[in-house]
A and B are shown apart, each in its own frame.
Chain A
Amino acid sequence: MTRPAEALPTQEMLINMGPQHPSTHGVLRVLLRTDGEVVVNARPDVGYLHRALEKIGERVTYAQFMPFTDRLDYLASMNCNCAYAWAVEKLAGIEVPERAEYIRVIVSELNRISSHLIAFGSFTADMGAFTPFLYSIRERERVNDLFEDLCGNRLTYNFARIGGVSADLPPGFLEKTKEFLDYFEPKIDEYNKLISYNKIFVHRLAKVAVITAEDAIAYGLTGPNLRGSGVRFDLRRDEPYSVYPKLDFDVCVGSGERGALGDCFDRYMVRINEMRESVKILRQAIAQIPEGPVAAKVPRVFKPPVGEAYFRSECPRGETGFYLISDGTGNPSRLKIRTGSFVTMNIFEKVTVGLMIADIVAVIGSFDIILPEIDR
C-alpha cells in the first residue's frame, strides 16, 4: 500500500548553478539545495569578476578613474560616468554649465532606455521566448548608432568629464534622437501586445518572489526593484540632481496588476513603463537644451579640498552611490562604490525559499543584476 510521503527517505540535491550559465547574467554562482524541483536554499556566491576597482581608485587621479566607471555597469555606462562626475563635483564644489547638464541627462536617459531594453530582452529570452530579445537588440542598435556618432564608442563611452562632458553634441544629433524617439515609442506598446501580457509569461512571473515594501526598504533594494514593490521613490524626483527639477515625468510603481504587489511581473512592468517615461524626459530635454559651454574650467592637476562626500544617482539597476574621501592630494583617499545590484543580492537568499528552479531564473532576471556592478 502507499506510504505517507514523509516516510519516504529523500535526499536534498546540491546543484551548482555555476559561474558559467546562460541565465545568470554574468559570472554568478548560485548554490542550490533542492528537494526535487523545489529550492530549499539558494546561496549566491559572488566575486568571480572582482577587479579591485576601489583599490585602483586610490592609485589613479580623479580624472583617470572615469574609464573605470564605464566598466562598472557596462550596459548603463553613461549613467555610471555621470554619477561619478556628479560625485566628484559635489566633493569639490564645482559648478557645471547648464548645457553640459542637459547633455548628461540626455545621454543618461538614452542609456537607461538601452539598458532596460537589454533587461527586457534577456529576461524574456530566459523565460523561453527567444524573439523579443532580437527586437530589443534592433532598437538598441539605433541607440548605439547615436552614441557612436556622439563619442565614437558603442558600449563603454567614457563621455562625462569632471566639470562637464568631453565633447559637444555633433550637428544633427538632436534631430536623430527625436527620430529615434518617434520610432521607438510605439514599439513599447508592441512589446506589451507581443509578450508582456501573454498568458504563459504572466503565469511564469505572477506571485513569484513577492517582496513587500518594508522588506524592500530594509534590505536596501533600490531603483526598479524598490518601485516594483510599490514604494514611490525615485532619486530623480526625491533627491533631484542636475536638471531633473526642470523636467516633468511620472514615477512608475508596481501595482500588482497580475498577481501580488512586488512580484517579478511588477518589477518587469516597472522597467517597461520606465522606458516610456525616459522617452518623455528626452523629448523635454531636447526641447529645453540651451547653448553654452560644455565643460567647466577644472585645473589640470585637480586637487579637491579635504572632505568627504556621498552622492547617489538613479541608474537603471538601482542607485549608484559614490563615497569619496579626499585628503587634498590628486588621488582619492577612499573611493567606495555602492551599487544597486550588490545590495539587491542581500535579499536573494530570503526570497528564493520554496521556489522552483525555473523560478530562480525568473528572480535573477527580474532583479536585473549585472555582475560587474556586484563585484567591482
Chain B
Amino acid sequence: MKPARGITPWLFLAPGLVVFGFAVLLPMVLTIGYSFTDWNGFGAMTFVGLDNYARAASDAVFRGSFVHVVLYIAATLVLEVGVGLGLAGLVSMRPGRLWFRVAIFTPVMLPLVVVAVLWAFVYNPDFGLINGALAAVGLQGLQRIWLGDTATALLAVSFVSGWVFAGFYMMIFYAAFRQVPSEVVEAARLDGAGEWALFRRVKVPMIRGATGIAVLLCVTGGFQGFDLFFVLTNGGPYGATEIPTTLLVKTVFRNGEVGYGSAMAVVLTAVVVSLGLVYARLTAGGRSSAGRSR
C-alpha cells in the first residue's frame, strides 16, 4: 500500500462516493430528518419531535406488522434454511447430481414479481394447482381460498418464499459441506455411522459458520421482504399479511404521511442494522454480509 499522495486516491473514489452519497447516504439522512416532522409531501414541514415515534409505538397496525413479519421469518427459517440444509445434506451424500442442484436453484433466478403472479394462479381457488391436487386425491375438505383466508394467507406467502429461496440456501450449505475434510467423514463411516448420524453429528456441527450466515441472511432479508407480499396479498385479507414494508409504502405513497412513514422506516432500519451488528460482534471474524434480493 502506498501512503497518501495528494488527491490521487480521492479521484479514484469520487465516482462511487458521489453516486452512493447522492442516492443512498443523503436520502437516508433526509429520511431520518422527515421522521421528526408531520410533512405530507407538499405543504409546510413542521417539527414535531418524537411524536411520530410515539404514534408508531402505540399503533396497533404497525405493531401487528412486526408480529406478521416475525411469523413470516420463523416460517422461512424452516422452509428456506431448514429445507435448504436438508436438500444440501441429501445431494452431498454422493458426488454428482448437478442436474438436481441446477433445478432447485432455478426459482432464485426469476423476478419475484413473476414468481408471485405465477403462484397467485397456483393458489387460485377455481383452477389452481393446490386445490386441484387436493381434489385429485380426494381431499376436497382441505381446499381453501389460500390467499383470501386470514388463517392461511401468511403461511401461503411464506411457502412461496420457501419455494424460491430453499435452493439458494441449499447452494450455500452444499458449498460448506464440501469444505468438510473427507478424512473426518471417512473416519466416522469406519466407526459405523450411518448417513443420518453423519449428517446430524458430523457434517452439520462442522458448518456452523455457514449456518450463521444463512440465518442472518434469512432474518435480515425477511424484514425487507416486499415483492411477494405486495403482489400476492398486499397486506390482506383484513390486514393478516401486513408487514412493515407494505404498510410503510401505503402510509407514504397512498396516504401521503411522509413524516410518519419515515419514522416507520427508521424503526425498521434500526432493527435490521442492529441485527447485522450483533451478528458481526458475535462472529467478530470481520465477515460482512449483504442481503439477498427480495
Same complex: no
Chain B residues with CB under 8 Å of chain A are none
- Using a CB–CB distance below 8 Å, which chain A residues touch chain B? none
